[in-house]
Amino acid sequence: MTTAYEKLVDRFQQMYHLQHLGAIAGWDQAAMMPAGGNQARGAALAELNTLLHKLLTAPEVEFWLQEAQAQETNPDTIRSIEEMAVEWRHASAIPDDLVKAKTIASTHCEHAWRSQRPENDWKGFSKNLKEVVNLSRQEAGVRAEKSNTSPYNALLELYEPGVSTQELDQLFGDLKTWLPGYIQYAQDNQSSVNIIQPEGPFPIEKQKALGLEVMKLLGFDFDHGRLDVSTHPFCGGVSEDVRLTTRYKEDNFVEALMGIVHETGHARYQQNLSEQDRELPIALYRSMGIHEGQSLFFEMQLGRSAAFLSLIQPLIVKHLCDGTSQPCMALDNLEKIYTQVRPGFIRVDADEITYPAHIILRYEIERDLIEGSIEVDDIPELWQQKMKDYLGLDVAGDHKNGCMQDIHWPMGSFGYFPSYTLGAMVAAQLFSAQKKIMPDIEAQIQNGNLAPIFDWLKTNIWSQGRKYSTAELMTRATGEPLTASYFKQHLKERYLD
């Protein structure tokens, strides 16, 4: 006789396979699909998301969960059921028609954003964004009522289980007390540093070849993934079929290369989730903060370090300079380029000291937007004021480099942005823990012996999936729950000392 838990396993396996198809359709939409296919693709994805929602919220699932919780005694099975129940609660909080409406609205808004952003068309963009915000508020309101919390907290729970606006306000409030000083001090420190900026053109094919070789160095499994181009870099797909993208500029290889390193961190996590129960919630990534922690470990802790740059400098020369070194590609100059502190308009191109300011700005705006204390029309003025306050920059009227630059809001992903700064803290804490058990870690990186680093991450983070809460996962890996102290110390050592 089939047990209730076995029936749940069958249902979640079925959903995983459909989610796989949805992920590849989404990747294709961003990287390959002709523009004219968007309306049909949006309708297809809405239909798929609605079907997935129906499968998860069907009456029998609640019955199976209750039966399984009463029947099962194995601790691992009980944990698996708990994570299934989390997925069921998230899905059952909102009706099918809202899932479908939000998918259609966000797909339309995101696709239009791709052409509206280059044209600085705030008026056209804001019209679509208002519909996405309206539906996101409806979703947040329904979720908040079911879980007895605030609307923004209800969305935050989807990305960062257990984290609240109260904690974020305190955390970001503390950051705002010392971050401006760090930014200024680092800039003063670097004011007399002479940097030779590499001058292109750097053909895209050569940049791609360089990126692929660096991905190989970082252990990316090309039998289960690939690299492509999209308007906004991302990593998607499933563990068996990971898709990551970057974007290239012929006059600047710096951002694309580090973007590839960043997305490879996401991909390695995805590719190394536990193979046992891979199709079940218990084996999925713990939170977006942990996920961003892996990408920022690769980019900030590893990628921008002097040791790693010395490892890849010969590859940069080989691919971009035809094997002949130039002063701009000398190791000491590359180190200066990749640790330069310079407030800028674009989040994804920001250095790691100014980056949290970009996140705090977005968090404060989206929190107030979902809570209803501001409206979409207020965003440009608020963005302008906060850019002046936090980074000393004037972005008035330049919406494409201001409030239109990110893909998250057009996609309806409200509650995601805090994960980036939480991830920076995760990355610093993980690297600090590794240094304690591998005192010669810098020499190992310089020599290309990266396997011990990745093995440690696989053992302590990647393979653990959702077996533990974020606090438990970090405590088991590093000896204590997530704290900002290692991130602060990392910035101090790299930029201020």
Strand partners, 236: 243
Q: What is the mean pLDDT of residues 330-348?
A: 95
Q: Where are the alpha helices (DSSP H) in 58-162?
A: 59-71, 75-92, 96-116, 122-147, 151-159
Cβ proximity of 255 and 303 under 8 Å: no
Q: What is the pLDDT of residue 325?
A: 78
CA distance 457 to 177: 32
What is the pairing mode between strands 225-229 and 241-246? Answer: parallel
Q: Where are the domains of the chain?
A: 4-159, 163-497
Cβ proximity of 316 and 334 under 8 Å: yes
Output the CA–CA distances (angstroms, integers) from residue 11 to 100, 210, 217, 282, 417, in the order listed: 21, 42, 38, 14, 31
CA distance 383 to 401: 11
Q: What is the pLDDT of residue 371?
A: 97
CA distance 179 to 304: 20
Q: What is the pLDDT of residue 216?
A: 98
Q: What is the pLDDT of residue 50?
A: 94
389 Cβ partners below 8 Å, 6+ apart?
none
Q: In which band, very low, low, confident or very high, does the pLDDT at 348 lie, cut at 50, 70 and 90?
A: confident
424-449 pLDDT, tens per residue?
A: 999 999 999 999 999 999 999 999 99
Is the previous residue joined to 59 through a cis bond, with omega within 30 degrees of 0?
Answer: no
Cβ proximity of 233 and 348 under 8 Å: yes
Q: What is the pLDDT of residue 209?
A: 97
CA distance 66 to 187: 58
CA distance 320 to 446: 21
Q: What is the mean pLDDT of residues 455-463?
A: 98
Cβ proximity of 154 and 144 under 8 Å: yes
Strand order in the sheet with 241-246: 225-229, 241-246, 235-238
Q: What is the pLDDT of residue 432?
A: 98
Instruction: State yes or no: pLDDT of 323 exceeds 80.
Output: no
Q: In which band, very low, low, confident or very high, does the pLDDT at 324 lie, cut at 50, 70 and 90?
A: confident
Helical (H) or strand (E) element with 228: strand 225-229
Output the CA–CA distances (angstroms, integers) from residue 65 to 8, 9, 10, 161, 478, in the order listed: 8, 11, 13, 20, 34
- E strands, 240-359, where? 241-246
Query: Phi and psi of 262, rounded to 5°?
Result: -60, -50
| Cβ neighbour number for residue 48 with a 10 Å cutoff | 17
CA distance 379 to 336: 35
Q: What is the pLDDT of residue 326?
A: 87
Q: In which band, very low, low, confident or very high, does the pLDDT at 187 lie, cut at 50, 70 and 90?
A: very high
Of 3.40.50.620, 3.20.20.140, 1.10.1370.30, 1.10.3720.10, which CATH number belongs to 163-497?
Answer: 1.10.1370.30
Of 235, 219, 161, 240, the residue nearest 473 (C-alpha): 161
Q: What is the pLDDT of residue 76?
A: 96
Cα 25-159-431 angle, rounded to 5 deg = 105
| Cβ neighbour number for residue 448 with a 10 Å cutoff | 13
CA distance 294 to 349: 18
Cβ proximity of 484 and 175 under 8 Å: yes
Strand partners, 245: 228
Cβ proximity of 415 and 156 under 8 Å: yes
Strand partners, 147: none
Instruction: State yes or no: pLDDT of 232 exceeds 90.
Output: no
Cα 385-387-393 angle, rounded to 5 deg = 110
Instruction: State yes or no: pLDDT of 308 exceeds 90.
Output: yes
Using DSSP, state whether 373 is helix, strand or coil.
coil
CA 316 from chain center: how many Å? 26
Cβ proximity of 88 and 64 under 8 Å: no
Strand partners, 244: 227, 235
Q: What is the pLDDT of residue 322?
A: 83
Q: In which band, very low, low, confident or very high, does the pLDDT at 223 lie, cut at 50, 70 and 90?
A: very high
As a whole number, the mean pLDDT across the chain is 96
Output the CA–CA distances (angstroms, integers) from residue 201 to 251, 260, 321, in the order listed: 5, 19, 11
Structure tokens at 132: 């996405």
Q: What is the pLDDT of residue 77?
A: 97
Cβ proximity of 452 and 444 under 8 Å: yes
26-73 pLDDT, tens per residue?
A: 999 999 999 899 899 999 999 999 999 999 999 999 999 999 999 999
Q: What is the mean pLDDT of residues 299-305?
A: 96
Q: What is the pTM of this model?
A: 0.94
**Largest interatomic CA distance in the chain:** 75
Instruction: State yes or no: pLDDT of 83 exceeds 90.
Output: yes
What is the percent of the chain with per-residue pLDDT over 70, rounded to a whole number?
100
Q: What is the pLDDT of residue 438?
A: 97
373-386 pLDDT, tens per residue?
A: 999 999 999 999 99
CA distance 250 to 192: 28
Query: Phi and psi of 228, rounded to 5°?
Result: -140, -170
